[in-house]
Structures are given as C-alpha cells and as structure tokens.
Structure 1
C-alpha cells in the first residue's frame, strides 16, 4: 500500500504534467494561428500586387511568435517544478534561456521595424480591409 504522501505527490506531478501539456498546446495553437494569419495577409498582398515590402506581415507573424514563446516558457517553468534530476533541470534551464533570448531579440526587432514601418502600416490596413 502506498503512503498518502506518495499518492499526493503523484497527483501533483500528474496535474502539473497535464497543465504543462495544456500550456504547450496553447503555444503551438498560437504559432499555427500566426502562420495562418501571416499567410492570409501574404496572399492578399500578392493578389493586390502590394509586394514592395513585407515588413508589416513579418511584424504580424512576430507578434504571434512572441506570445507563443511566452507560453512555451511558462511550460518550461512548470517542468522545473517536477524535474527529477539536476541534469533535467539544467536542460530545462538551457531551453528557457534560449527561448527568453529568442523572445528578447524578436521583441527588439518588432520595435525597430514598427518605427521604420509607419508608411507600411497603410499597406497592411489596405490588405486587411
């Protein structure tokens, strides 16, 4: 017979694993929506022959990717709550650092392109409209 402590620990681990799976699924769904949205905007721009610069479409995709990275980082943090070894914690830490760096540089690029893309936003509003 297992102890009450062991059962509680097992229940918490299972709950965290399910929560992690849910958070990862939300992140993957956001990426898929971003790809579909950017693809749709690209097709509309190509049909309307507005191919001068695709910065605004890249920014639209980047917003989705940045949000998805936040969810994926959240899933990584959940994993550290139940990581059974220092080796696994180290791997999760490395993944978290990589995702955080990606998010930082993606956010910085979006900020820079937003400043450069003022006339471009008119193109996106015409494409989206």
Structure 2
C-alpha cells in the first residue's frame, strides 16, 4: 500500500494549503486597501463638516476594516502552522499570531468603547 508521501497526495495537500494561505493573505491586504479608500473618501466628504463626531465615524469604520484584515491574516497564520516544517517557523508564526490577536482584541475594545461613548444615555 502506498503512503501519502509516496503517492504524491501529501505534496498536493501541501500545495493546496499554501495557495489557500496566499489567497487569505491577499484577501486581508485587499480589505485594508478597500478600507483605506473608503475611509479616505468618507474623510473627504466629512472634512468640511464641523465637529469631532465625523472624525470618529471615519476612524471607527476604518477600524472595522482593520479588524477584519487582522482576522484574515490570523487565519493565514493558522494555515501556515499546518505546513510549517520546523519548530523555528512554528515559533515565529505563534509569536505573530499572538501579536495579531492582541492587536485585534484592543482594536475591538476601542471600537466598542467609542461606540458606547457616542450613544445617548438610556432613559
């Protein structure tokens, strides 16, 4: 009976995971690019309006794009650990994943806190 390595299935799965990782990373970069364009357009539309609320609205919408991009990049890191051939690479991926998770946590908390601060108090 052939092993997965001998039959070429292992290499096929490895290549598929690498292509999927690349697609997920590219999606994360695309989300950031779209977020920058969207935030820039919203900023230009609102820059002539007075008040800080317009700035916070633009900032929060961009933060949502960044949070989504961080999630996608973290997903790509998880895929990378599936095919990482050495403990050194796994360690580096783990460090990157921890940093991205922490960034996403604090970004989500800031979004939540800012949204709560902008809501009118309940009666």
If the length of structure 2 is used for normalisation, what is the TM-score? 0.88
Matched residue SS, 1:52: coil
Unmatched tracts of structure 2, length 5 or more: none
Cα distance in 2 for partners of 1:104, 1:97 equals: 10
Partner residue of 2:102? 101
Partner residue of 2:38? 37
How far residue 117 of structure 1 moved from its aligned partner, in angstroms, is 2.2
Cα distance in 2 for partners of 1:17, 1:82 equals: 8
Which 4+ runs in 1 deviate beyond 6 A?
none
Partner residue of 1:5? 5
Matched residue SS, 1:17: helix
Unmatched tracts of structure 1, length 5 or more: 120-129
Aligned residues: 115
Asked whether the equivalents of residues 55 and 117 of structure 1 are also in contact (C-alpha less than 8 Å), the reply is no
Matches for 1:105-120 after TM superposition, within 5 Å = 105-118=106-119
Q: Which structure exhibits the higher relative contact order, with contacts defined as CA atoms closer than 8 Å and separated by 6 or more residues?
A: 1
Cα distance in 2 for partners of 1:58, 1:65 equals: 10
